[in-house]
Amino acid sequence: MSLHLLGTSLVAPMASGEGEGFHAPTPEEFYWPIFGSGDWTFTRPMAVFGLSVILISWALIALTKKAAIVPGKGQWLVEQAYDFVRNGLARDIIGSKEFLRFVPLLFSLFVVILVNNLFGIIPPIQYPTMSRIAFPIALTLVVYVVYHIAGMRKKGVGHYLTGMIPKGLPKPIYVLMIPLEYAQFFLIRPLTLALRLFGNMFAGHMLLLLFVMGGEYMLLHGGIGLKITSIGSFAMALIFTAFEALIQFLQAYIFTLLAATYISDAISEEH
């Protein structure tokens, strides 16, 4: 196993010295300690996340410092991303009255998740940070606190809690309805928000690992027939890398979209 951890993810050498055959990738493949041990280990996703924060801060400051009326290429890119989140997500979903307060949060979420996801297929890094469950949980915690606090501030605690239950239903239905609605707002929403991002990144990286490791094994340890078949495996890895890029963008978009939807649900009056 130590051999797996030393190599980069795409050329992970197989522990095949014993000649015991192919090992399919397991979740342990995702644990990459750099230094330290036990609870205080500094791991590879932490390094990647730190790198992403430095990169995003540098890019946003450098590209918008000399903001011109006629934007250059870099400024245009930042403005497109900002416009996409501000007008395409926040204003359309939260409504033009209150959306401005939440734009900084939504824009940060979108950019951080997008860059961290894309790190999953950018060659020297190749590690989607969000495939470790702790990172999506931390981001979800921020969204969870924000939408509850925003709702409670707007309506007051009591009115906020009763406002979650739809009114005008027959009495017996409420026995079923009240637990379901509260479970949805307090458990299912944050749980699915975190698990969706985690699951997509985890499964996608696992798939790439499987194709590349399988192809590598067939190429190095198989007979002549298997060596030819390994081309197919590497081609699939290439195709799925392009597919992953789409999924990674989509997941950043979906996370931000759902965060905006939850905030909108919490502060809107009609519920």
Partner 1 sequence: MEGNIAILGYGLSAIGPGIGIGLIFAAFINGVARQPEARGMLQGIAILGFALAEALAIFGLVLAFVFR
**Binding residues vs partner 1 (CB under 8 A):** 27, 92-93, 192, 195-196, 198-200, 202-203, 250, 253-254, 257-258, 261
In the complex, least distance from residue 192 CB atom to partner 1, rounded to whole angstroms? 4
In the complex, least distance from residue 53 CB atom to partner 1, rounded to whole angstroms? 26
CA distance 125 to 161: 45
In the complex, least distance from residue 196 CB atom to partner 1, rounded to whole angstroms? 5
In the complex, least distance from residue 239 CB atom to partner 1, rounded to whole angstroms? 20
In the complex, least distance from residue 148 CB atom to partner 1, rounded to whole angstroms? 20
Q: Residue 109 or residue 258: which is nearer to partner 1 going by CB?
A: 258
Taking each helix axis from N to C terminus, what angle separates 73-83 and 103-118, rounded to the nearest 10 degrees?
Answer: 120
Q: Which residues pair with 43 in a beta bridge?
A: 33
CA distance 139 to 220: 41
Q: Residue 3 or residue 203: which is nearer to partner 1 going by CB?
A: 203
Q: Could you give the residue ranges of the DSSP H alpha helices within the chain? A: 2-6, 44-65, 73-83, 92-94, 103-118, 134-155, 157-163, 173-183, 189-221, 224-267
Q: How many CB atoms lie within 10 A of CB 249?
A: 14
Q: Locate tokens 């499987």: which residue? A: 210
In the complex, least distance from residue 195 CB atom to partner 1, rounded to whole angstroms? 5
Tokens of 258: 């759902």
Whether residue 222 contacts residue 50, with contact meaning beta carbons closer than 8 Å, is answered with: no
Whether residue 231 contacts residue 219, with contact meaning beta carbons closer than 8 Å, is answered with: no
In the complex, least distance from residue 255 CB atom to partner 1, rounded to whole angstroms? 9
Q: Residue 201 or residue 236: which is nearer to partner 1 going by CB?
A: 201
Q: Residue 111 or residue 201: which is nearer to partner 1 going by CB?
A: 201
Q: Residue 122 or residue 187: which is nearer to partner 1 going by CB?
A: 187
CA distance 255 to 260: 9
Q: Residue 88 or residue 232: which is nearer to partner 1 going by CB?
A: 88
Q: Residue 136 or residue 151: which is nearer to partner 1 going by CB?
A: 136
